Amino acid sequence: DRFRERVPLPNLLSQVKVSMMDPGSSKPRDWIGPILQSADAANGKFVIIPECKRMEPTMGSLRKRYNIPKLVKQFTQAGAPAISINCDGVLFGGTLEDITAAREAASSAAVAMSTEDGVIAPPVLASDLILYPYQLYKLRLAGADAISLVAGSLSNKDLLYLTKIAKSLQLQVVISVSTKVQIQKVMNSLDKGSFAALSVTNRDMETFGFDENGSQAISLLESSELAELKEKHGDDLPVFAEGRVGLINHEGDSSAYIQKLKEAGAFGAFVGSGLAKKKEGMDESILKILVEE
């Protein structure tokens, strides 16, 4: 990590402390709150969280032109309650600057759309393969509101430690799992209230490919392990699905798979490639394309 070489950990910690004490600096916002409010306002509808990413390891580039400010503006205008930004530079072509650009674009778009009811800019989840606290400090300074942790890439001890560090930085945590064993790891390692949401993925974390028929996420949603986790962490814990949502077809219809996710108990889904494949010139209905009203 060249950034790590340029900025020693003590210096980075000092920057974080100054930022946290400075009343003029940006502070992490509630990420899960607007999502819950969006679902409540629409009588518990399936919530789509758009994800911006330059590329997929198995697909290559997703867009001819990857313009973070333009995409975030479109998602904000379309009514996204929150946004995910993939800033992993190794596999997904992301950068730390994408987080900052997304936060600024969301705020600008929200201000332009402001009404007498107030301005709400979609908060930003930083999606990255986080393995050590140094990354959390960088993301905090970049303007992230929440971060994702991949359970399969962390030991029980590291999962607990990184979750505690994130909390100290006022960053909400979303845990991503791809197996039932990982669900048990989360249940055994973390206390109730220590993370904001869980995400079950169709991705194979060894090959970074996908279960193309989407059965992996369905199986996790319907598992006894998830039921047990929700007994400990609360039945109201939001559980999202991710991985090819919007591209997986059942009987030739992508919305049929979303219906299966809903029936299996998913609260919503992260959608990246599924939105990237839609026509450009997005309008306010784009986030509703995948979900029947």
- What is the per-residue pLDDT across 120-163, written as a single tens digit (0 to 9) for each? 899 999 999 999 999 999 999 999 999 999 999 999 999 999 99
| Torsion-angle region of 170 (φ positive above 0: left; ψ -120 to 50: alpha; else: beta) | left
CB-side exposure of 127: number of CA atoms within 13 Å? 22
pLDDT at 245: 85
pLDDT at 275: 75
**φ, ψ for residue 25 (rounded to 5)?**
-85, 155
Convert the pLDDT of each residue in 102-124 to its tens digit: 999 999 998 888 754 555 899 99
Q: Which two tokens stand for residue 178?
A: 């791809």
Q: How far apart are CA 55 and CA 92, in angstroms?
A: 5
More confident residue, 205 or 93: 93
More confident residue, 80 or 206: 80
For residue 107, give the 3-state DSSP assignment.
Answer: helix
pLDDT at 4: 58
More confident residue, 6 or 1: 6
pLDDT at 280: 44
Q: How far apart are CA 154 and CA 159, in angstroms?
A: 6
Q: Does the pLDDT value for residue 58 go beyond 90?
A: no
pLDDT at 276: 67
pLDDT at 117: 55
Q: Does the pLDDT value for residue 283 go beyond 50?
A: no
Helix extents (H) in the chain? 2-6, 9-21, 32-41, 68-77, 96-112, 133-142, 156-168, 180-189, 215-221, 224-233, 254-263, 273-276
For residue 269, give the 3-state DSSP assignment.
Answer: strand
What string of DSSP letters covers 13-57? HHHHHHHHH-TTS--PPPSHHHHHHHHHHTTSPPEEEEEE-SEET
Residue 76's CB: how many other CB atoms inside 10 A?
24
Looking at residue 58, what DSSP letter applies?
T
pLDDT at 278: 54
How much is the average pLDDT of 168-187? 97
Report residue 81's pLDDT band, with 50, 70 and 90 as the boundaries: very high
pLDDT at 90: 85
- The single residue listed with the structure tokens 């997986």 is 248
Q: How far apart are CA 107 and CA 104, in angstroms?
A: 5
CB-based contacts of 159, cutoff 8 Å, min separation 6: 149, 151, 175, 185, 186, 189, 190
Q: Does the pLDDT value for residue 293 go beyond 50?
A: no
pLDDT at 1: 52
Give the predicted TM-score (pTM) of the model: 0.90
